Amino acid sequence: MRRSFTFIAVLVIVAATIAGGLSAKSARRRSASNSNSTATSPADKYEADRIENDYREAIATVEDRYAGEVDYEKATQAAIQGMLFTLDPHSVYFPAPEFKKLKEDQASSFYGIGVQIVRHDDGVYIQSVVEGTPASRAGLRYGDRIVEVDGKDARDWSSDQVSKNVRGARGESVLLKVERAGQEAAVQFKIVRDAVPLPSIRNAFMLSPGTGYIGLVGGFQHTTDDELRDSISGLKREGMRQLVLDLRNNPGGLLDQAVKVCEKFLPRNQLVVSTEGRDAKQKAEYRATGRDRHPSVPIVILVNYGSASASEIVAGCLQDATSLGVCKAIVVGEQTFGKGSVQSILPLQDGSALRLTTAKYYTPSHKVIHEKGITPDIVVPMSDEEEENINLRRVPGGIDSLDVKLQDRVRNARDVQLDRAMDLLKGISLYTKRTPAGEKRVAKGDKVAAATK
């Protein structure tokens, strides 16, 4: 066991080197940024050897002096997790059994019931129910608290634990017990798992003559590009000339779909986003193809703290493109989440693996997204109550799950961010109509000023 621990401890040193966990080494890399060489310098090797020796000495001391039994495997895993914790919350260590299961899960087909869940302080709640799914047909609602899954107490489970236990083979049933507001006794549902469509766009409609709304709130999936194309085409048939693109609480998803969303409003070859890692090999640029382009459509993009990852790529890209005069977008709402990093799975020799942040996203103007987020052009804060009202109105069954007084409050609540978006688009429309044809190309700052007069 001691030999096994020493072997894995060496892997920890290698992992630290890969992660750039050695601060002195990182500083030296920055000072040598003009060099293309990635060879390990003698100083770097000395530093890695020194830390490896420190590990060996520490474990030898523990083995010789610790009063109890040493679980070397547990100690190793804690050492690696502790190292990754100092890097960022997205870098994770998978022990060999967990990594094996991860690979099996990725290769398997799982089916569910059609709900989105979220963990609160007192348990896991249903955040939304997808129409036309087993959960919708069974009668699950927004706000139901999941207390049991197949007879197992789920009160203290994380949302991941609930998700893993709810998913399973197609055609097999899962037994859920939920607590529901207004009912004393828990309600039990037997639901048969099936394929679950998870559309990115939950609604698209005309807000007013000439102004369309697209709620791209369901993440960036394989179908996002097609859904957006169809939604824009449908709204244009109804007379849309300007658009509100709602990305609030969109957690992100596939990078290629974020790029395809952006390129609908950008000229060919315009930079959408770039990724940069430790060295030149990990740098990449993603540019618009110019297909399905709608350059004349003014857009207001709604964002908030729940807008993350791919949502931030879209908001940051179109914001920068507008400052260059190649797009007509204004970002409205609140500071976004700040998840702008690329994670890679790196297998280790003992069968375990690291999920490591290997690159970060940058907007076209080279603003870093990670841990900073996107700052809206116009900040419109919302209170917790206002945000809850909007969320309840947006999810199927959200209002019906409330008592009568709360239903009236939610129905009558104003969406102050959407109201501001409408005001801006009205201002842009009026400004455009009054501007001579030869002067209609307006800078971003001028648009905002005109819209807010």
Residue 108's pLDDT is what? 65
Tell me: the pLDDT tens digits for 275-288?
Answer: 999 877 778 999 99
121 carries an active-site annotation = no
Mean pLDDT of the region 127-139: 86
What is the separation of C-alpha 281 from the centre of its chain, rounded to a whole number of angstroms?
A: 25
Tell me: the pLDDT tens digits for 336-348?
Answer: 999 999 888 999 9
Choice between 182 and 69, residue whose per-residue pLDDT is larger: 69
328 carries an active-site annotation = no
Residue 439's pLDDT is what? 47
Tell me: the pLDDT tens digits for 404-417?
Answer: 777 777 878 899 99
Q: Are 285 and 274 in contact (CB under 8 A)?
A: yes
Q: Is 444's pLDDT higher than 70? A: no
Mean pLDDT of the region 33-43: 54
- Confidence category of residue 295, pLDDT binned at 50, 70, 90: confident
Mean pLDDT of the region 383-389: 86
- Burial of 282 from C-beta contacts in 10 A (0-12 / 13-18 / 19+): middle
Query: Which residue of the set 177, 339, 444, 447 is catalytic?
Result: 339
Q: Are 185 and 122 in contact (CB under 8 A)?
A: no
Domain boundaries along the sequence of the chain:
2-87, 115-192, 201-344+358-381+415-451
Choice between 301 and 103, residue whose per-residue pLDDT is larger: 301
Residue 75 main-chain phi, psi, to 5 deg: -65, -40
Q: For 4-13, 172-181, 357-366, which range has the lowest pLDDT when averaged over its residues?
A: 4-13
As assigned by CATH, the class of the 115-192 domain is mainly beta
Query: Which residue of the set 309, 311, 341, 352 is catalytic?
Result: 309
Q: Are 331 and 287 in contact (CB under 8 A)?
A: no
Residue 401's pLDDT is what? 61
Domain 201-344+358-381+415-451 has CATH 2.130.10.10: no
Q: The dihedral of CA 359, 362, 366, 368: what is its sign?
A: negative
Query: Which residue of the set 225, 246, 320, 415 is catalytic?
Result: 320
- Confidence category of residue 23, pLDDT binned at 50, 70, 90: very low
309 carries an active-site annotation = yes
Q: Is 245's pLDDT higher than 90? A: yes
132: left (phi over 0), alpha (psi -120 to 50) or beta: left
Residue 54's pLDDT is what? 86
